Amino acid sequence: MSDKGKLKALTPREKFDVINAVKSGMKKEDVAAHYGLPPSTLSTIIKNEAEILKRYESSSNLSSKRRRLAEKEVVRKLITDMEQQSSSPINVLHAIRMTDKAWRSVSVTTISNCFKSCGFSMSQEEASKEPLEPDMSLEADWNKLQNTEIQFEDYVTCDEGLATTGTLTDAESQLFQHQLVFQ
């Protein structure tokens, strides 16, 4: 049985970088080695250059999974409108709610996989090697706070007399403007 390497999914940005590397005159073998790609994958990327560039230029900041989830919400709204034989526009509030729902639909596994693909993960062995020591200074500080006679009202109103706004005199205003001009 042959020992195949793990498949690597490239983002549109990575494919864009691969295309630019080839266009800059870098040897295809070097580009493939740099990005850890087999030559056949590099050939496919070069062959589909126009489609990749189009996707890269039209890609938004949303991850593809969140974009799919957000698009589902738009489709659901359109289907609901068709079933009710009505047409209600998607306003900013609807868009915010749809985006929020899409974000909340992203699972912990998805986020974990994103961190792993960026290299921010630790293996279970490395994580278990780190000693879990309680922060004694934090506990001591907390105990000190428990024994004080400070009331909640004292805490909330501690900055009541602090000036947060004020009116400038003409002289102060001119001085301030002068400082802004000559900085």
* Domain contains 106: yes
What's the token pair of residue 26?
Answer: 């870098």
Parent domain of 80: 64-117
Residues 54, 69 within the same domain:
no
pLDDT tens by residue, 64-102: 655 666 677 777 788 888 888 888 887 888 888 888 887
How many separate domains does the chain show?
2
Residues 52, 96 within the same domain:
no
22: pLDDT strictly greater than 60 = yes
* Domain contains 38: yes
- Residue 14 main-chain phi, psi, to 5 deg: -65, -40
Handedness of CA 134, 135, 136, 138 (dihedral sign): negative
What's the token pair of residue 108?
Answer: 């912990």
What's the token pair of residue 62?
Answer: 């949303």
Instruction: Indicate which CATH number applies to the domain containing 23.
Output: 1.10.10.60
What's the CA gap between 54 and 42, in Å, rounded?
A: 18
Residues 53, 77 within the same domain:
no
More confident call, 8 vs 36: 36
Q: Quick one: pLDDT at residue 125?
A: 58
Q: Are 18 and 10 in contact, with CB atoms under 8 Å apart?
A: yes
Q: Quick one: pLDDT at residue 133?
A: 59
pTM for this one? 0.34
Residues 35, 78 within the same domain:
no
Q: Quick one: pLDDT at residue 2?
A: 47
* Domain contains 179: no
Q: Are 6 and 27 in contact, with CB atoms under 8 Å apart?
A: no
Nearest partner of 41 among 18, 64, 63, judged by Cα = 18
Q: Which value, in Å, is the radius of gyration of the alpha carbons in the chain?
A: 29
